Amino acid sequence: METPSYLNDGHGLKSWLLTKDHKRIALLYLASVTAFFVVGGLFAMLIRLELLTPAGDLLTSETYNKMFTMHGVVMVFFFLIPSIPAVLGNFFIPIMVGAKDLAFPRINLISWYIYILGGLFTFAAALSGGVDTGWTFYTPYSTAAANSHVVLAALGVFITGFSSILTGLNFIVTIHRMRAPGMTWFRLPLFVWSHYATSLIMILGTPVIAITVLLVAAERVLHMGIFDPALGGDPVLFQHLFWFYSHPAVYIMILPAMGVISEIVQTFSRKNIFGYSFVAFSSLAIAIIGFLVWGHHLFIAGQSVYAGLIFSFISFLVAIPSAIKVFNWTATIYRGSVALDSPMLYAFGFIGLFTIGGLTGLFLAAMGLDIHVHDTYFVVAHFHYIMVGGAIMGYLGGLHYWWPKMTGRLYSEFWAKIAAGLVFIGFNLTFFPQFVAGYLGMPRRYHEYPPELQVWNVMSSAGASILAVGYALPLMYLTYSMFAGVRSSADPWGAKGLEWEVPSPPPTANFEGTPIVTHGTHQYAPSKEVGIA
Amino acid sequence: MPDSRMHAEHYPGPLHNPPVRSAEVQRSASHAHHPKLQHHFDDMDQQLEASTLGMWVFLVTEIMFFGGLFMAYLMYRWANPTAFQEASAHLNKFWGAVNTIVLIVSSLTMAMAVRSAQTSARPRTQVAWLLATMSFGTAFLGVKVVEYSDKFQHHLVPGPHFQWPGQYPAGAEIFYSLYFCMTGLHAIHMIIGLGLMTVIAIMAGRGKFNGAYYTPVEISGLYWHFVDIVWIFLFPLLYLIGAHYGAGH
Amino acid sequence: MSGHIASPKLYYAVFFALIVGTVLTYLAALVDFGFFNNVVMLAIAFAKASLVILFFMGVRWNSRLTWIVAASGFFFLLIMFAITMSDYMSRGWVPGTLK
């Protein structure tokens, strides 16, 4: 006899497609972000195949341009930005604050449909021939010269932005107004803090890219010359507007992963986080300071040197709160009772790879060095260390950590460890050589390169094939576990937190009655902070 | 070597066994089962607070959305001050001012509409205020239609048919691009607002709103006032900067 | 349900102030004060917007959170304006660089 849970509360397609349950919506997002990840990955595969040889022999340059554009658009807007917030955030924020659902369940469902609609527009752009402007849509190429399907792609991004906005809106109101009695701000899990900070960015930043891509579409369709140099329009203005969102967007992509890591290191070190308030406030600091650095993408665009100076300096500052997190995670693990289960392996991977990515970001923040490596594979490697070595490992770690709670099933720890290892090895083999190639001058977004750089590209493509296997494995064993996995108890890891107090999988209403919280949710050891003996 | 934690014993957590709602945590119970209370909320107060906060967060996104256009305006005006003045002088500031007043009146009637719901006024009264708001909103759009067609006739629409009689054609074309984008986006928001108000007016007519439940009127009002505020900035920035520049209309 | 209920008199007073502000800004625009025109125009616009926000939208009687939320939107807009304009206005300050 199956115990009642949100999974069997209502059967049939309609009960899923018209659900208001945040947990079911999280699974809807899980299915769709996975699909988009596969699509984005296929574009990446074509890129790496082309780059096996120095000559541009697999794809024409126009087609290659479309490959990296679609890879970027799909991965950034349809995978990285929604992944953790829309899957893990949607599922766990209500439970972690002690609520029955998010503040606006119907808006939550609408956000998924908006996401799908945006995805369809982008698919339409891809199927009708693709876009070749790069995911950054720089003008005047995108508005005047490109003869690819810019408008469709721009509209796809515009529409999907609203999904992000609605998710952030829901999280902010939920965290402010729906906390259970006794759940004060400083008793919240750090996962919630990081999602709160992420939501601030979603709210303040996304509308700016919305208007910007709308202007690009308007300029193409209506021939209004806002960015047109022939009229005295300034293409750099586009870059200012674009990066005003797109830099904070990278913090949308990494902050939730940081929240996941904060949770995982505590559980698998059997220790409270070191410096809870510092980690909590560092999330807010990253969100706010992250809005002040966008000009570091415009160092060689014609931006004034003085503005570049300011942006460079603040870009150095923004590394500080991230570093605080890394120090605090390390201090948490130190002298903890460490278990190397697969979520923890991903957490370790995150900490190391994010550190490398972050440090290379500092290289790029230095204007002089940036002039040398701008638009080279150095930059590509930097952001992939953060996005893939950081964000995706955080996503996979969180998915594995909370999988038993979400599905009520245990996955194969053996295969999970293999996959984590393959991802780590494959990732480094793919992207470390790109630092070298970039520093040696290999430009990004070119389908050919000088022959002396081939060895780095071959290593990179080889690594990519290993990485692909590493990603394919969870797809298989996690799916398998949903049908044939050992059933999980409420708390298979021995973890602390409201989500581990409820059954696996949780009932639709999350809790019976209203939970009364009497102290902080992460209490692995006696703590002065909340006065428990 | 540490064991895998996967099959560890369940650790007792920090919670007491979740009790049914106890006295000290209960919020005001007077409307515990209002038919419009959504079940993930504790009470109508929390629902109103959450909805109001949600609408304000949404309005912040709207501020940033329009903000991108204001940024473009700011930069291009700084770069082309005289061109913008010359271009602005060709807008009809009288009708711009009329439209400003029309929207301010509509904000007054909207505030009165919310108040009528808060004070449980008769449905007819609520609908009257809402219809007044909508009439002024429609009047605003009517004036814009007239203005826009006037621009079409005088070849002031940016693009291949743009013709500028004055000294600064390039700057003027950028000005009019911004004019159409900003007022156009504003007009789209007005149209959406009218759609919202239609729904609200129908619900009010059916007696759905009173002192115990007026959340939809409140949050629609917030949206309406926001659209008014955008115009409060658009009017002087677009219509009045050329007011003392040479010869206008 | 809680929620402050304002008096109609207050609403009419705010309305009257908004109309006065509109007339003032129109008249001020007809005179050439040079750069000061912008200051007057924006000051009046901000005053009018504040009246709408505080009284028509009720922020005067809402929680501090609402106030912070509303203010944050304008604050971040200000950041975008100020820093972007700092780029444009300082172009060419370093000899040999682009204007």
Interface probe, candidates A247, A297, A300, A303, chain C, greatest C C-beta count within 10 A: A303
Q: Which residues contact A149 (CB under 8 A, 6 or more apart)?
A: A124, A125, A128, A129, A130, A131
Distance, CA of A49 to CA of A58 (rounded, Å): 8
- pLDDT, tens digit, 9 for 90 and up, residues A263-282: 999 999 999 999 999 999 99
Tell me: the pLDDT tens digits for B117-153?
A: 999 999 999 999 999 999 999 999 999 999 999 999 9
Residue with tokens 């390390």: A330
Chain C, residues 28-87, CB within 8 A of chain B, namely 29-32, 37-38, 41-42, 44-45, 48-49, 52-53, 55-57, 62-63, 65-66, 69-70, 72-74, 76-77, 80-81, 84-85
Buried b or exposed e, range B134-156, using 16+ CB within 10 angstroms:
bebbebbbebbeebbeebeeeeb
**Range A409-424 burial, b when 16+ CB lie within 10 A, else e:** bbbbbebbebbbebbb
Quick: pLDDT tens for C22-70. 999 999 999 988 889 999 999 999 999 999 999 999 999 999 999 999 9
In the prediction, which pLDDT does A525 show? 67
Sign of CA dihedral A172, A33, A290, A110: negative
Q: Which residues of A174-190 are buried (b: 16+ CB within 10 A; e: fewer)?
A: bbbbbbbbbbeeebbbb
Of A174, A306, B43, A119, residue with least CA distance to C90? A306
User: Which pLDDT tens digit goes with each residue over A89-130?
Assistant: 999 999 999 999 999 999 999 999 999 999 999 999 999 999
Give bridge partners of residue A443 from the DSSP assignment.
A376
Q: Is the pLDDT of residue B10 over 90?
A: no
Residues B77, B71: Cα–Cα separation, whole Å: 10
pLDDT of residue A526: 56
B246 confidence band (pLDDT: 50, 70, 90)? low
Tens-digit pLDDT profile for residues A334-385: 999 999 999 999 999 999 999 999 999 999 999 999 999 999 999 999 999 9
Chain C residue with Cα closest to B51: C66
Residue among A13, A204, A513, C88 nearest B16 (CA): A513
Q: What is the mean pLDDT of chain A?
A: 94
Q: B54 pLDDT band (50/70/90 cuts)? A: very high
Burial label, C73 (beta-carbon count in 10 A; 0-12, 13-18, 19+): buried
**Per-residue pLDDT tens digits for A139-156:** 989 988 888 899 999 999
| CB spacing of C93 vs A305 below 8 angstroms | yes
**CA B144, chain centre distance (Å):** 17
Is A196 a residue whose pLDDT tops 90?
A: yes
Residue A206, classed as helix, strand or coil, is helix
pLDDT per residue as tens digits for the range B183-194 = 999 999 999 999
| Amino acid identity at A245 | Y
> Between chains, do A222 and B159 touch, taking CB under 8 Å as contact?
yes
Is residue B109 within 8 Å of B193, Cβ to Cβ? no
**Cβ distance of C87 and A304 shorter than 8 Å:** yes
> Are the beta carbons of C65 and B53 separated by less than 8 Å?
yes
Partner A contacted by B5 (CB < 8 A): yes
pTM of the model: 0.93
Residue of B nearest to A199 (CA): B57
Amino acid at A50: E
Residues 38-67 of B with CB under 8 A from C: 44-45, 48-49, 52-53, 56-57, 59-60, 63-64, 67
pLDDT category, A206, cuts 50, 70, 90?
very high
Q: What does the buried/exposed string (b/e) look like for A317-344 if buried means 16 or more CB atoms within 10 Å of the residue's CB?
A: ebbebbebbbebbebbbeebebbebbbb
Residues of B in contact with C78 (CB under 8 A): none
Q: What is the pLDDT of residue A228?
A: 81
Position B42 pLDDT exceeds 60: yes
pLDDT at B3: 36
Instruction: Identify the pLDDT of residue A147.
Output: 81
C92 — pLDDT class (breaks 50, 70, 90): confident
Exposure pattern of B13-43 as b/e (b: 16+ CB <10 Å)?
Answer: bbbeebeeeeeeeeeeeebeeeeebbebbbb
Query: Residue A375: what pLDDT?
Result: 96
CA distance A115 to A157: 9
Which pLDDT does position B57 carry in this prediction?
97
Q: What are the pLDDT digits (tens) for A302-317?
A: 999 999 999 999 999 9
Higher-scoring residue by pLDDT: A492, B15: A492
| A102 touches B39 (CB < 8 A) | no
Q: What are phi and psi of A377, to 5 degrees?
A: -70, -10
Question: Which pLDDT does position B32 carry in this prediction?
Answer: 53
Provide the ipTM.
0.94
Q: Do B102 and B139 touch, CB atoms closer than 8 A?
A: yes
| Residue C94 with chain A: CB contacts under 8 Å | 304-306
State the pLDDT at residue C1.
Answer: 52
Question: What is the distance between the terminal CA atoms of chain B, rounded to a whole angstrom?
Answer: 86
Mean pLDDT of A275-302: 96
Of the candidates B64, B213, B40, B196, the residue with the CA atom closest to the CA atom of residue A170: B40
With cut-offs at 50, 70 and 90, classify the pLDDT of residue A233.
confident
Nearest chain C Cα distance for residue B60, angstroms: 5
Percent of chain A beyond pLDDT 90? 90
Name every residue whose Cβ is closer than 8 Å to that of residue A354 and which is 6 or more positions away in sequence.
Answer: A254, A322, A326, A385, A386, A389, A390
Residue B21 has pLDDT above 90, yes or no: no
